Structure 1
């Protein structure tokens, strides 16, 4: 009996050991299988991400411009600038090129987070993180991307600008739709009933923005926005003796030259078949509108380039304002780096706050926007000069 009991115990213990061994092998096998599956799932994502990025920036200039609004060389230069001057670095899973491509996709086509994360095979939190990271890097380049405004000189040969000695460019305001809370909607509702921000901007003769000031409510008038921009300590700087061309939404005052009221002005009034100017004021208005049209053209190219400016975006209002500023800065960079701008060519085929305070160090500036008899006389003298030299 004793021998039988010993054998029974031996069989039981052997069975337990075998089961434990088999369970250990099963657990190990499961662990190996799960590790292999995890590794394969990560590896399967990489080709899709690299393929999408490669199609955007490596395949052709046409695809790069269509999707990111700049050619491949310009995209590469912007990446280098962000690394060298803004300190943008490769993240844990995203390189600088992919970070910038994600940001430009949002600006160019106003793509929502869920669309971007699907296209780039990234999580929504990753997309959001790098959009804000690249946005901050681009805004830090404002001193690099805002050009110096240079006045028209006596030896200027451009038929549009040679009449306006000392002119720095053109200035106007544009409304950009934004999304705000219900309590703020009455303040942001403009005269057309849209919820927008009134953005003041000035550009030079090359259609690069030398100043922009977004953030004012859509209900604010253009003159009010300009007065606030000039009054700010680090605001709009217009050196004495220089000026910008403006429309009649602003006062004709020192630093800001407007057309004569009650005299035909707009380009459609001076189209083919219309009468030639009959007096100095008509000639002044005709040449004024041809030169000042540069700001309207710049706004048109800006909004055609960046889809996010054509409709309200679902970001906090402060982020929306920062995105608007980044669009102005990137517009300047593209105008500077791309010799042929297809967006401007497309415009031709159709019918038609940062300030540069260090650039004028030591000079006196216009400190207020108030009409004066002296400035009115200056406008009369320019008009008479044009008439005498027609």
Structure 2
């Protein structure tokens, strides 16, 4: 009887010890969470912080705006907004093993720094298969944001006072092609080799007057001419559309035709040619000077894009389809960052460098054929610019 009583007492004491340990652990966990810097912690589930493997994420994203920008190329508020959009619009979901914010952080880190898979494994404490899997999942979710993040084109109004754009009434922006280095199978490398000998894809980019992308069309081989890529883009049923009465600025590599206003060939054009006090001496030169100043927005957009995302500066080992998708994703993220980050260090750094010459409509333009009417439109615009230029100089 005494032995049974001793066993009951012993079991009761052990139970009390376990209960005290559980209570102690609960209070310790509550204190640990409360001690974290919650100033920028969002109230959504994907920012709750209870896993040891998320320590690196706390340091990378939630530590400060500086570390968040250095690692993901965006500030914390923009990061939170992106996570929310990917959940509500892109269909990105948390899993048993990884919450949404860590999935997005891994994806942005790969784009921003273009590190090898084994380096990302060490950074986040995840396996290589997990890194690869979630990169593709987030990539698909980001591409689904096209309707939300691509800029809706807006024409220059008659009463515009912008010195760079006021001459181009009805203009929607500028477009050009850029080459991005990629990896392709050996048997098709010849088609992707551009005139400089690099293996690239020729990407058509269209941007608005403030440098946000309206349309992006990757996938063509590097050997393809810019005009051929544009013709294919406007010929596709769901491709690039230009509404009647509006147009985009293009360089001399494209045809001067309805919807696409090109400079005069054989005349001074690039901005570097107008330095050191040189002035236009004819309507054609004046037009080219104004045209170059406005169309430079697409060169600037491409420059900032490649400076922000290191994955666009060197070829990756993803399949061609994945490479084309992350090019689109980089442009979408570029637009989001341009809208949210007023003080963007990447933009400031790009502008400090002396750069070299760098919507569905009812009646869209479907062909690219020169016409006398469009040539006269450009000629009248050139004469108007030159007369205004001479009048301003004579009044000084």
TM range (shorter): 0.7 to 0.9
Which runs of structure 2 are paired with 1:147-296 in the superposition (5 Å)?
Answer: 147-271=151-275, 273-296=276-299
1:338 CA drift (Å): 1.4
Q: Which has the larger radius of gyration?
A: 1
Counterpart in the other structure of 1:366? 365
Counterpart in the other structure of 2:132? 128
1:47 CA drift (Å): 6.3
Aligned equivalents of 2:152 and 2:182: distance in 1? 29
Aligned equivalents of 2:344 and 2:246: distance in 1? 29
Counterpart in the other structure of 2:107? 103
CA deviations 1:303-358 (Å, max 9, x no partner) are 00000000100111111111111111111111112112211100111112xxx32x
Aligned equivalents of 1:155 and 1:276: distance in 2? 26
Counterpart in the other structure of 1:297? 300
Counterpart in the other structure of 1:378? 377
Aligned equivalents of 1:256 and 1:148: distance in 2? 18
Aligned equivalents of 1:92 and 1:211: distance in 2? 36
1:274 CA drift (Å): 3.2
Aligned equivalents of 1:252 and 1:323: distance in 2? 32
Q: The residue matched to 1:365 in structure 2 has which SS? A: coil
Aligned equivalents of 1:378 and 1:324: distance in 2? 35
Counterpart in the other structure of 1:35? none
Aligned equivalents of 1:339 and 1:80: distance in 2? 20
Counterpart in the other structure of 1:6? none
1:50 CA drift (Å): 2.0
Name the count of aligned residue pairs: 337
Residue 387 in structure 1 maps to residue 392 in structure 2? no
Aligned equivalents of 1:274 and 1:267: distance in 2? 12
Q: The residue matched to 1:277 in structure 2 has which SS? A: coil
Q: What is the TM-score of this pair, normalised by structure 2? A: 0.84
CA deviations 1:70-114 (Å, max 9, x no partner) are 001100111111111112111111111100000001100111211
Counterpart in the other structure of 2:35? none
Counterpart in the other structure of 1:314? 317
Aligned equivalents of 1:166 and 1:318: distance in 2? 35
Maintained 8 Å contact 1:252/1:371 = yes
Counterpart in the other structure of 1:38? none
Counterpart in the other structure of 2:54? 50
Aligned-residue RMSD, C-alpha: 1.1
Q: Which contiguous aligned blocks of 4+ residues in structure 1 show a shift greater than 4 angstroms?
A: none
CA deviations 1:177-199 (Å, max 9, x no partner) are 01001111000000000000000
Q: The residue matched to 2:186 in structure 1 has which SS? A: coil
Counterpart in the other structure of 2:123? 119
Counterpart in the other structure of 2:84? 80
Q: The residue matched to 1:184 in structure 2 has which SS? A: helix
5+ unaligned residues in a row in structure 1: which ranges?
1-45
Aligned equivalents of 1:228 and 1:205: distance in 2? 24
Q: The residue matched to 1:379 in structure 2 has which SS? A: helix
Maintained 8 Å contact 1:48/1:121 = no
Aligned equivalents of 2:271 and 2:278: distance in 1? 13
Maintained 8 Å contact 1:152/1:166 = yes
1:388 CA drift (Å): 2.2
Residue 340 in structure 1 maps to residue 339 in structure 2? no
Q: The residue matched to 1:389 in structure 2 has which SS? A: helix
Aligned equivalents of 1:132 and 1:161: distance in 2? 40
Maintained 8 Å contact 1:263/1:281 = yes
Aligned equivalents of 2:134 and 2:95: distance in 1? 9
